[in-house]
Structure 1
Amino acid sequence: MQYNVWNKSFFPHLESPYSPCLSLQWTLRAGQVYNVPVPLLVKGDIILLRPSHKAPARCKALQVLT
């Protein structure tokens, strides 16, 4: 089994309900969107922020939609 291959089944579904126990972040990784727990974000991940969401880490804007 290859451990460096990302698979959507490794992460919660994108529409998972809010949980006060686990902070999830929509993340573009390897060309696909994953729902990654914030502690598992790594340098190079592109996070997708939605209205009213705060960045979970130090980030730089790639694109701002108004």
Structure 2
Amino acid sequence: MIERNLIRERTSAARARGRACGSRPKMTSKKIKQAKLMRNNGMSQLEIAEILGVGRTTLYRHLK
């Protein structure tokens, strides 16, 4: 319980200093543009996901 409160305090302090929490985004704006171009050229979304090294769900989310 005490340890959880310490983690919560450190996390909120880091956010206040402008630190980003969590992992970096897998899809950059460059990858999104490339994926759209590939989709317009007739590639399947599964192929695009494999080439870009992201999951299908991640790709679907960015190509809505």
Relative to the length of structure 2, the TM-score reads 0.25
Q: Which has the higher strand share?
A: 1
Relative to the length of structure 1, the TM-score reads 0.24
Larger radius of gyration, structure 1 or 2?
2
Structure having greater relative contact order (Cα 8 Å, sep ≥ 6): 2
